[in-house]
Amino acid sequence: MDIVLNLQPLIDFFNLPPDQFLVSLFLYVGWIPIAITFIYGVCQVWLRYKRLAYGAAQKTILLAIDVPRGNAQTPMAVENMFSYLAGAHGTKDLYEKWWLGEWQLYFSFEIVSIEGFIQFLVWLPEKYRNVLEAALYSQYPDAEITEVNDYTQGYPTHFPDDQYDIYGTEFKLVKNSVYPIKTYKHFEHMMGEPETQYKDPMAALMDLMGSMKKGEQLWYQILVIPTDSAWAEEGENEIKKIIGEKAARNNLVDKILDGLLNALGAASEMIYSIWGDIKEQKAEDKEPQFKMMNLKPRQKKQVEEIQEKVGKLGFAVKIRFVYIAKKEAMNKNKVSYGMTGHMKQFNFNDLNSYKPDTGDGGTQTKLRYEIIFGHYRLNLRKIKLMIAYKFRSDARGRSPHILNIEELASIWHFPLEAVVKAPLVQKAPGRKAEPPSGLPVIMESAAKELGAGAARTENIFTLTNGDSAKPAAGPPANLPVV
């Protein structure tokens, strides 16, 4: 039976006048990409609406954390704490994601200096409070946790402002997230007294924050977003690239291209087999053995360090800081160079490193080309950065990058008192004796005993129980506690 294809309608279609051809093409297939784009846009608007509604329904709290005086716990304790917090991760199904609008809630680990008075804080959804307390008390049994009011309230979000000015940025990684940064283990050495063999990288930050004068504040924020272990596969693919193996591809376009290439490869092998040269071709394409033996020292180090990083739990992370001060007290250079220098402590030239997020799409409140609407663009960046910081936004700015728990514990941990001499770091007064089991008590935190006064924007943290506190030595005299 002969099959006859009549191509005349197709020929007639391509021979149409240009205007009729375009109209017919749109009627037949041109509407498809428009319809797909419209449906995608509607789905994204719906998803954003449901996510905003879900986020608005979540109650968040801010906790001040005071560790005992004489803290000798290394960052390993904070690493263990982050391991416990990884339990907050949850996988959302289609109903939860698209109908309920649920998304992964997260933590914000912060360090704040108000005129030189330093406080460690954690912002989190209220339902995670028990998780955080269990993680913290398991490593610091004598620590004190106090719920306080948000210190960012009452400060301007629109610039220029008559009284205040700000400077700040986000920090981003130079290379792929699978390449590690320098961790606390690289700050240990075997010289000197045992208590000084660890050179705490937090010392530089504590010194900078302790140098804040009257009218100056420095806010440091690290968003910590629980995630799954899928990022580890990217590390395996990066290792394959280094050693010369073919890396797996996960996106749809790459899979389609791989399928076409595999089909062409199969066809070529069939042709070679017919010609009798298939064995010779396979011999030429055979990958060399012992590839690790042929790597350069730099490549070997990269492979080993990537393998070590992906072997631990990871979080999606976003790091930003804001320096806000009265205009007459503003000292931008001190904070700009100080914060950049602090983050450079964790840099590896051959692995990964941090740098301020500059460029046209960046968040740094500094411009490269100020001649082009410089004043307007600068103020717009300040507004975006301040809003992102106040709302602890994981969507504003650059996309989060991945750090494992060892790296996280390196950039945020309680300083060792034997190494870091920061007199205005808030500390718990020490171990308390256990009361009789049947004695009713009223718990009062150390943070309640540390401030006095009732000024508004000159101040730092306020307790949420509504009681005023007695003044004590240490913090500024105008530190309010509501």
DSSP string for residues in 21-86: HHHHHIIIIIHHHHHHHHHHHHHHHHHHHHHHHHHHT--EEEEEEEEETT----HHHHHHHHHHHG
Gap between the Cα atoms of 314 and 79, Å rounded: 11
Cβ atoms of 237 and 449 closer than 8 Å: no
pLDDT band at 142 (very low <50, low <70, confident <90, very high): confident
Residues 155 and 289 placed together within one structural domain of the fold: no
The domain boundary, picked from 267, 284, 306, lies at 306
Give Cβ neighbours of residue 15 (< 8 Å, ≥ 6 apart). Answer: none
Gap between the Cα atoms of 452 and 467, Å rounded: 11
The pair of three-digit structure tokens given for residue 181, joined into one six-digit string? 């940064």
Give the per-residue pLDDT at 12.
Answer: 74
How many residues comprise the chain? 482
Mean pLDDT in residue range 322-336: 91
Give the per-residue pLDDT at 326.
Answer: 92
Task: Identify the residue with better confidence: 475 or 334.
Answer: 334
Residues 224 and 238 placed together within one structural domain of the fold: no
DSSP state, residue 97: I
Residues 251 and 216 placed together within one structural domain of the fold: no
Sign, Cα dihedral of 249, 250, 254, 259: positive
Q: How many CA atoms lie within 13 A of 438 on its CB side?
A: 0
Residues 330 and 222 placed together within one structural domain of the fold: yes
- Mind listing the pLDDT tens digit for each residue in 278-292? 444 444 444 544 566
Residue 180 inside a domain? The answer is yes
Q: Are strands 60-68 and 427-428 parallel, antiparallel or unpaired?
A: parallel
Residues 258 and 326 placed together within one structural domain of the fold: no
Lowest-confidence pick of 97-101, 110-114, 214-218, 400-404: 97-101
Instruction: Name the percent of the chain lying above pLDDT 70.
Output: 71
Residue 41 inside a domain? The answer is yes
Lowest-confidence pick of 41-50, 426-435, 443-452: 443-452
Residues 358 and 400 placed together within one structural domain of the fold: yes
Residue 262 inside a domain? The answer is yes
Cβ atoms of 27 and 104 closer than 8 Å: no
Mean pLDDT in residue range 441-462: 44
Residue 454 inside a domain? The answer is no
pLDDT band at 338 (very low <50, low <70, confident <90, very high): very high
Cβ atoms of 210 and 424 closer than 8 Å: yes
Torsion of CA 339, 345, 351, 352, to 10 degrees: -20
Residues 214 and 99 placed together within one structural domain of the fold: yes
DSSP E strands: which ranges in 360-479? 401-404, 427-428
Residue 440 inside a domain? The answer is no
Q: Is the pLDDT assigned to residue 417 strictly greater than 90?
A: no
Residues 207 and 268 placed together within one structural domain of the fold: no
Q: Is the pLDDT assigned to residue 218 strictly greater than 50?
A: yes
Residues 396 and 324 placed together within one structural domain of the fold: yes
Residue 445 inside a domain? The answer is no
Give the per-residue pLDDT at 376.
Answer: 80
The domain boundary, picked from 288, 306, 324, lies at 306
Question: What is the DSSP code string of 161-212?
Answer: -SSEEEEEEEEEESS-TTS----GGGGB-SSS-GGGSB--THHHHHHHHHT-
Q: Alpha carbon 216 to chain centroid distance?
A: 25
Picking from 120, 89, 163, 108, the residue whose alpha carbon sits closest to that of residue 415 is: 120
Mean pLDDT in residue range 92-99: 88
Give Cβ neighbours of residue 264 (< 8 Å, ≥ 6 apart). Answer: none
pLDDT band at 243 (very low <50, low <70, confident <90, very high): confident
Residue 437 inside a domain? The answer is no
Mean pLDDT in residue range 308-334: 92
Residue 248 inside a domain? The answer is yes
Residues 401 and 357 placed together within one structural domain of the fold: yes
Gap between the Cα atoms of 321 and 353, Å rounded: 17
Query: For the chain, what is the mean pLDDT?
Result: 79
Give the count of domains, the chain: 3
Task: Residue 319: give the domain boundaries.
Answer: 63-229+315-424
Residues 361 and 345 placed together within one structural domain of the fold: yes
pLDDT band at 256 (very low <50, low <70, confident <90, very high): low
Q: Does residue 299 sit in helix, strand or coil?
A: helix
Residues 277 and 342 placed together within one structural domain of the fold: no
Number of helices (H), then strands (E), belonging to the chain: the values are: 14, 10
The domain boundary, picked from 306, 328, 361, lies at 306
Backbone dihedral angles phi then psi of residue 64, each to the nearest 5 degrees: -90, 135
Q: Which residues are bridge partners to 356 per DSSP?
A: 171
Give the per-residue pLDDT at 250.
Answer: 59
Q: In b/e form, how buried is each residue of 345-381, taking b as 16+ CB within 10 angstroms?
A: bbebeebbbbebbeeeebbbbebeeeeeeeeeebeeb
Gap between the Cα atoms of 178 and 54, Å rounded: 31
Instruction: Name the percent of the chain lying above pLDDT 90.
Output: 36
Put simply, whether the predicted model's pTM sits higher than 0.85 gets the answer: no
